[in-house]
């Protein structure tokens, strides 16, 4: 697979998402409450994508929303939930218990090894753990390998090559150079291991501004970039905004209720609006408040109290 | 500072499982462990290397602990944040001394289940969130400090886990030597009722809280309860530990781990008693 040649890769969000087919193996960038590619996720739902196969480390509303919209066939995250704060992921949990999605729960280290194998052009890599864990039962594809030097028997995990990595960044240029703030989570590994990176950015800026801030994901991994302000909302995208805890709580409540309440959330925030409409719905005051973290510790705490 | 609550005592006990100069890590969604690490670093373990959960920040001084594990407040003051793979590589090659782990179920060998309750082959009865990196980290990190804030429910400490996400000392696949695991496994387990150690790889109650009896603990423990011959009550927090805890966890996020009735357990602080510093 060749690298993505230089060029102007700036497109609108629907065009970027149209590059993803039903049944695709998708790596979702960010993690937990930070920098989840939510504008891309919402657009996947609007375009009615089905049978997606998701892989990643620790995730929350991105996976849950896709499952709630019946877009997912198989999940291979190491965690899906809202931590101690807001609890289990309602739609994911319901689908896993009903058997309407395949759950092949994984481990951060295992997923990392599988991506690195792809990066190195190898068919597999060994991991030291997994033995003694029932996670192995969820992965009949795992095997064992004997080290030719020490005789040690290790679990071998196959290379994974996602069809696309969906990554949201605070800034990027029109050619696809992206700057991220830490935590990068698996994004730096997803980019070279995937066939293409589909990116959204808070702001499209000059190449000089991205190189000044530092390029985390270079353009040669990126196939398309779209501008999507608040594209990680309701998760955080520092330094621009903290996560929107009340909105996450609103989602979790609707998803727990299921049925009409969940349908109403999806209609209001996803199906019934495009991304500019989504931002309008949230309102400029609410969105501006999420930036108040930078004013003082008290303001920052106030967002989470 | 004349009184303290159960959640504060619990976090202080977790903090004391950390030894000076250790390199210590907590997983995400673990408020009590997260606060405990900062308490240790501000009291008896000032020279520890603290790796902050999902931020992988090294020795940060967060202005407060937020309710999510990867908020930018958690890397404030850190001179460096590891990359994701940098942390996991360090843990797998044996450079991390201690990790905190919990589970919806924990058995007497310290195996933990964070994946799901009920039979997994037909779809879980209750699907839990999942184990993050635990199933590899538990193999190689030197010591594990386990905790459960739901011991009293009778569902947390079980005879056998429905699903083993992270390996303890021994399970049907073998023991740590059989599996070539270089980490030592669970060393301590703190619950809201008492503190266990793992002599011979099996949980043993070494300390109980003063307001619970061994009989009460036995009644809600699914595995056969072994009790230390010199069972003691847990050592109260010192003033230094309490003030460190209250400063670092001003939002009180640790409290979210406990049932409401546990938060009503309040104890009197005797300034002349039990300074651990």
Contacts of B63 in chain A (CB under 8 A): 297, 300-301
Same domain, A137 and A221: no
Q: Rounded mean pLDDT of A60-82?
A: 98
Q: Which domain, by its residues, includes A202?
A: 13-105+161-303
Contacts of B31 in chain A (CB under 8 A): 84
In A, minimum Cα distance to B128 occurs at A88
Q: Is B175 exposed, middle or buried (0-12, 13-18, 19+ CB in 10 A)?
A: middle
Q: Which residues contact B213 (CB under 8 A, 6 or more apart)?
A: none
**Residue A263 confidence (pLDDT):** 98
Taking residue B109's Cβ as centre, other Cβ atoms within 10 Å add up to 21
Could you tell me if the ipTM is greater than 0.85?
yes
Of B68, B132, B134, the CB nearest to A33: B68
Same domain, A141 and A166: no
> Tens digits of per-residue pLDDT, B183-220?
999 999 999 999 999 999 999 999 999 999 999 999 99
Backbone φ and ψ for A193, nearest 5 degrees, come out as -85, -15
Helix residue ranges, H only, B43-103: 84-92
Same domain, A60 and A75: yes
Please report, for chain B, the start and end positions of each structural domain, with discontinuous segments joined by +.
Answer: 3-102+134-149+184-211+227-268
Domain B3-102+134-149+184-211+227-268 bears CATH identifier 3.40.1080.10: yes
In B, minimum Cα distance to A248 occurs at B68
Q: Are B113 and B165 in contact (CB under 8 A)?
A: yes
- Contacts for B112-116: CB closer than 8 Å, 24+ residues apart: B112/B138, B112/B146, B112/B161, B112/B164, B112/B165, B112/B166, B112/B168, B113/B161, B113/B162, B113/B163, B113/B164, B113/B165, B114/B165, B114/B166, B115/A105, B115/A134, B115/A135, B115/B163, B115/B165, B116/A96, B116/B162, B116/B163
> What's this model's pTM, rounded to 2 decimal places?
0.97
What would you report as the CA-atom Rg of chain A, rounded to the nearest whole angstrom?
Answer: 19
Question: How many angstroms separate the CA atoms of A109 and A8, rounded?
Answer: 35
- The answer to whether A243 faces chain B, any CB pair under 8 Å, is yes
Question: How many angstroms separate the CA atoms of A13 and A44, rounded?
Answer: 10
Same domain, A35 and A136: no
Please count the structural domains in chain A. 2
3-state secondary structure of A217: strand
Could A109 and B125 be called an inter-chain contact, meaning their C-beta atoms sit closer than 8 Å? no
Of A83, A134, A304, the CB nearest to B29: A83
**Residue B277 confidence (pLDDT):** 45
> Tens digits of per-residue pLDDT, A40-64?
999 999 999 999 999 999 999 999 9
Could B129 and A88 be called an inter-chain contact, meaning their C-beta atoms sit closer than 8 Å? yes
Question: How many angstroms separate the CA atoms of B225 and B89, rounded?
Answer: 37
Same domain, A190 and A255: yes
In A, minimum Cα distance to B33 occurs at A84
- The answer to whether A97 faces chain B, any CB pair under 8 Å, is yes
The DSSP letter of residue A238 is T
Same domain, A148 and A185: no
Average pLDDT, chain A: 97
Same domain, A23 and A88: yes
Q: Residues 146-175, chain A: which have Cβ within 8 Å of B?
A: 152-154
Same domain, A154 and A237: no
Q: Is the pLDDT of residue B275 over 60?
A: no
> Residue for token digits 């690298």?
A3
Question: How many angstroms separate the CA atoms of A27 and A11, rounded?
Answer: 20
Q: Is the pLDDT of residue B269 over 90?
A: no
Q: How confident is the model at residue B270 (pLDDT cuts 50, 70, 90)?
A: confident
Taking residue B263's Cβ as centre, other Cβ atoms within 10 Å add up to 16
Answer yes or no: is A123 within a domain: no
> Tens digits of per-residue pLDDT, B104-153?
999 999 999 999 999 877 779 999 999 999 999 999 999 999 999 999 99
Task: Among A108, A186, A295, pick the best mutation site for testing chain B contact (most B Cβ within 10 A).
Answer: A108
The DSSP letter of residue A24 is -
- Report the DSSP beta bridge partners of residue A171: A179, A203
Q: Which residues contact A67 (CB under 8 A, 6 or more apart)?
A: A75, A89, A91, A92, A95, A101
Q: Is the pLDDT of residue B276 over 60?
A: no
Q: State what percent of residues in chain A have pLDDT above 90.
A: 99
> Tens digits of per-residue pLDDT, A158-203?
999 999 999 999 999 999 999 999 999 999 999 999 999 999 999 9
**Residue B1 confidence (pLDDT):** 52
In A, minimum Cα distance to B170 occurs at A132
**Residue B271 confidence (pLDDT):** 65
Domain final residue pick, A142, A158, A174: A158
In B, minimum Cα distance to A239 occurs at B72
Q: Rounded mean pLDDT of A116-142?
A: 96
- The answer to whether A99 faces chain B, any CB pair under 8 Å, is yes
The DSSP letter of residue B76 is T
**Residue A305 confidence (pLDDT):** 79
Same domain, A216 and A259: yes
Q: Rounded mean pLDDT of A238-252?
A: 98
């Amino acid at each position: 697979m060749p690298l993505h040649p230089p060029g102007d890769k700036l497109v609108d969000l629907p065009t970027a998402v149209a590059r993803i087919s039903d049944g695709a193996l998708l790596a979702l960038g960010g993690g937990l409450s930070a920098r989840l590619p939510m504008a891309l996720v919402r657009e996947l739902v609007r375009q009615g994508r089905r049978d997606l196969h998701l892989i990643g480390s620790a995730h929350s509303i991105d996976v849950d929303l896709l499952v709630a919209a019946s877009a997912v066939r198989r999940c291979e995250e190491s965690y899906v939930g809202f931590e101690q704060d807001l609890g289990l992921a309602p739609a994911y949990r319901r689908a896993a218990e009903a058997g309407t999605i395949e759950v092949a729960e994984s481990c951060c280290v295992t997923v990392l090894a599988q991506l690195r194998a792809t990066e190195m052009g190898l068919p597999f890599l060994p991991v030291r753990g997994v033995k003694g864990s029932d996670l192995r039962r969820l992965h009949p594809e795992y095997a064992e390998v004997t080290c030719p030097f020490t005789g040690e028997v290790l679990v071998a995990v196959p290379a994974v090559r996602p069809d696309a990595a969906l990554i949201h960044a605070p800034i990027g240029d029109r050619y696809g150079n992206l700057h991220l703030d830490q935590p990068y989570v698996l994004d730096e590994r997803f980019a070279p291991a995937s066939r293409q990176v589909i990116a959204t950015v808070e702001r499209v800026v000059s190449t000089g501004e991205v190189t000044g801030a530092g390029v985390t994901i270079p353009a040669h991994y990126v196939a398309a970039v779209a501008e999507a302000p608040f594209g990680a909302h309701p998760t955080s995208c520092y330094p621009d905004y903290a996560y929107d805890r009340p909105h996450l709580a609103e989602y979790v409540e609707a998803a727990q209720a299921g049925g009409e309440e969940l349908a109403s959330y999806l209609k209001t925030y996803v199906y019934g609006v495009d991304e500019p409409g989504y931002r309008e719905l949230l309102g400029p005051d609410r969105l501006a408040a999420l930036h108040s973290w930078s004013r003082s510790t008290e303001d920052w705490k106030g967002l989470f109290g | 500072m004349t009184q303290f609550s159960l959640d504060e005592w619990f976090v202080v006990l977790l903090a004391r499982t950390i030894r000076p100069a250790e390199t210590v890590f907590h997983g995400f969604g673990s408020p009590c462990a997260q606060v405990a690490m900062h308490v240790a670093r501000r009291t008896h373990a000032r020279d520890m290397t603290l790796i902050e959960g999902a931020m992988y920040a090294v020795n940060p001084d967060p202005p407060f602990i937020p309710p999510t594990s990867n908020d930018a407040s958690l890397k404030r003051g850190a001179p460096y944040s590891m990359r994701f793979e940098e942390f996991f590589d360090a843990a797998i090659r044996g450079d991390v001394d201690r990790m905190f782990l919990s589970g919806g179920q924990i058995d007497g060998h310290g195996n933990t289940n964070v994946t799901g309750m009920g039979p997994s082959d037909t779809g879980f009865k209750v699907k839990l969130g999942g184990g993050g990196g635990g199933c590899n980290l538990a193999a190689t990190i030197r010591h594990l400090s386990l905790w459960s804030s739901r011991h009293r429910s009778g569902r947390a400490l079980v005879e056998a886990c429905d699903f083993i996400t992270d390996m303890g000392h021994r399970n049907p696949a073998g023991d740590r030597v059989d599996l070539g695991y270089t980490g030592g496994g669970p060393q301590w387990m703190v619950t809201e009722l008492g503190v266990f150690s793992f002599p011979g790889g099996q949980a043993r109650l070494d300390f109980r809280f003063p307001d619970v009896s061994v009989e009460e603990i036995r009644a809600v423990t699914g595995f056969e309860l072994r009790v230390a011959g010199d069972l003691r009550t847990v050592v109260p927090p010192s003033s230094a530990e309490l003030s460190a805890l209250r400063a670092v966890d001003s939002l009180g996020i640790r409290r979210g781990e406990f049932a409401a009735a546990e938060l009503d357990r309040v104890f009197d602080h005797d300034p002349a008693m039990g300074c651990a510093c």
